[in-house]
Amino acid sequence: QVQLVESGGGVVQPGQSLRLSCAASGFTFSSYALHWVRQAPGKGLEWVAVISYDGTNKYYADSVKGRFTISRDNSRSTLFLQMNSLRPEDTAVYYCARDEVLWRSFDLWGQGTRVTVS
Protein backbone atom coordinates (compact mmCIF):
# COMPACT_ATOMS: atom_id res chain seq x y z
CA GLN A 1 0.00 0.00 0.00
CA VAL A 2 0.92 3.65 -0.20
CA GLN A 3 3.09 4.39 2.79
CA LEU A 4 6.16 5.98 4.29
CA VAL A 5 8.10 4.19 7.02
CA GLU A 6 10.77 5.99 9.05
CA SER A 7 13.62 4.32 10.88
CA GLY A 8 16.94 5.17 12.46
CA GLY A 9 15.86 7.03 15.58
CA GLY A 10 17.43 6.43 18.96
CA VAL A 11 19.19 7.93 21.94
CA VAL A 12 22.44 9.82 21.35
CA GLN A 13 24.62 12.20 23.30
CA PRO A 14 24.95 15.89 22.44
CA GLY A 15 27.38 16.44 19.59
CA GLN A 16 26.84 13.02 18.08
CA SER A 17 25.28 12.13 14.74
CA LEU A 18 22.32 10.10 13.57
CA ARG A 19 20.93 9.19 10.16
CA LEU A 20 17.22 8.78 9.66
CA SER A 21 15.67 6.89 6.77
CA CYS A 22 12.21 6.98 5.26
CA ALA A 23 11.26 4.11 2.97
CA ALA A 24 8.44 4.71 0.52
CA SER A 25 6.19 2.23 -1.20
CA GLY A 26 3.05 2.16 -3.29
CA PHE A 27 3.67 5.30 -5.33
CA THR A 28 6.17 6.75 -7.79
CA PHE A 29 8.73 8.03 -5.31
CA SER A 30 10.77 9.95 -7.87
CA SER A 31 7.80 12.18 -8.78
CA TYR A 32 7.43 13.83 -5.38
CA ALA A 33 9.25 16.31 -3.21
CA LEU A 34 9.61 15.13 0.36
CA HIS A 35 9.85 16.80 3.73
CA TRP A 36 11.02 16.13 7.27
CA VAL A 37 8.87 17.54 10.06
CA ARG A 38 9.58 17.14 13.75
CA GLN A 39 7.63 17.41 16.97
CA ALA A 40 9.34 17.92 20.31
CA PRO A 41 7.68 16.26 23.30
CA GLY A 42 4.41 18.00 24.10
CA LYS A 43 5.01 20.64 21.44
CA GLY A 44 3.71 21.54 18.01
CA LEU A 45 4.91 20.65 14.55
CA GLU A 46 8.11 22.14 13.16
CA TRP A 47 9.07 21.89 9.52
CA VAL A 48 12.71 20.81 9.16
CA ALA A 49 13.68 20.38 5.50
CA VAL A 50 12.48 19.66 1.98
CA ILE A 51 14.10 18.06 -1.04
CA SER A 52 12.82 18.30 -4.60
CA TYR A 53 11.70 15.25 -6.56
CA ASP A 54 15.10 14.90 -8.24
CA GLY A 55 17.24 15.94 -5.29
CA THR A 56 18.55 19.09 -6.89
CA ASN A 57 16.88 21.58 -4.57
CA LYS A 58 17.00 21.49 -0.78
CA TYR A 59 15.82 23.93 1.86
CA TYR A 60 16.22 23.88 5.62
CA ALA A 61 14.83 25.49 8.73
CA ASP A 62 17.29 27.92 10.27
CA SER A 63 17.35 25.78 13.42
CA VAL A 64 19.04 22.90 11.56
CA LYS A 65 20.86 24.64 8.71
CA GLY A 66 24.50 23.62 8.56
CA ARG A 67 23.95 20.60 10.83
CA PHE A 68 21.32 18.51 9.02
CA THR A 69 21.42 17.27 5.43
CA ILE A 70 18.44 15.94 3.53
CA SER A 71 19.03 13.54 0.66
CA ARG A 72 17.26 10.87 -1.33
CA ASP A 73 17.95 7.76 -3.34
CA ASN A 74 15.26 7.43 -5.99
CA SER A 75 16.55 4.02 -7.05
CA ARG A 76 15.77 2.74 -3.54
CA SER A 77 12.70 4.92 -2.90
CA THR A 78 14.29 6.17 0.27
CA LEU A 79 14.63 9.59 1.90
CA PHE A 80 17.35 10.39 4.40
CA LEU A 81 18.13 12.95 7.06
CA GLN A 82 21.73 13.11 8.23
CA MET A 83 21.81 14.86 11.58
CA ASN A 84 25.17 16.05 12.89
CA SER A 85 26.18 18.03 15.97
CA LEU A 86 22.95 17.05 17.68
CA ARG A 87 21.64 19.19 20.51
CA PRO A 88 19.16 18.45 23.29
CA GLU A 89 16.67 20.73 21.53
CA ASP A 90 16.69 18.35 18.55
CA THR A 91 14.90 15.79 20.71
CA ALA A 92 11.64 15.05 18.87
CA VAL A 93 9.64 12.61 16.84
CA TYR A 94 10.73 13.02 13.23
CA TYR A 95 8.21 12.48 10.46
CA CYS A 96 8.77 12.24 6.75
CA ALA A 97 5.97 13.56 4.58
CA ARG A 98 5.12 13.62 0.90
CA ASP A 99 4.56 16.90 -0.89
CA GLU A 100 1.31 16.95 -2.83
CA VAL A 101 3.01 19.06 -5.54
CA LEU A 102 0.47 21.64 -6.68
CA TRP A 103 -0.35 23.22 -3.34
CA ARG A 104 2.60 21.73 -1.46
CA SER A 105 0.41 20.24 1.23
CA PHE A 106 1.70 17.16 3.03
CA ASP A 107 -0.68 14.45 1.94
CA LEU A 108 1.10 11.36 3.20
CA TRP A 109 3.01 10.97 6.47
CA GLY A 110 5.08 8.26 8.03
CA GLN A 111 4.47 7.04 11.57
CA GLY A 112 7.51 8.89 12.92
CA THR A 113 10.80 7.90 14.54
CA ARG A 114 11.89 9.18 17.94
CA VAL A 115 15.21 10.92 18.46
CA THR A 116 16.45 11.67 21.95
CA VAL A 117 19.57 13.76 22.52
CA SER A 118 20.67 13.44 26.11
Partner 1 sequence: DIQMTQSPSSLSASVGDRVTITCRASQSIHTYLNWYQQKPGKAPKLLIYAASTLQSGVTLRFSGSGSWTDFTLTISSLQPEDFATYYCQQSYNTPYTFGQGTKLEIK
Residue with smaller CB distance to partner 1, 9 or 112 = 112
> Longest C-alpha distance within the chain, in Å?
40
Spatial distance between the Cα atoms of 67 and 61, rounded to a whole number of angstroms: 11
Contact of 29 with 74, CB cutoff 8 Å: yes
User: What minimum distance in Å lies between the beta carbon of 82 and partner 1?
Assistant: 19
For residue 98, the minimal CB distance to partner 1 (Å) is: 10
First CA to last CA across the chain, in angstroms?
Answer: 36
Instruction: Note the residues at the interface with partner 1 (CB under 8 A).
Output: 35, 37, 44-47, 50, 59, 61-62, 95, 100, 102-107, 109-112
> What's the CA gap between 67 and 86, in Å, rounded?
8
Closer residue to partner 1 (CB): 53 or 109: 109
The least CB distance from residue 16 to partner 1, in Å, is 25
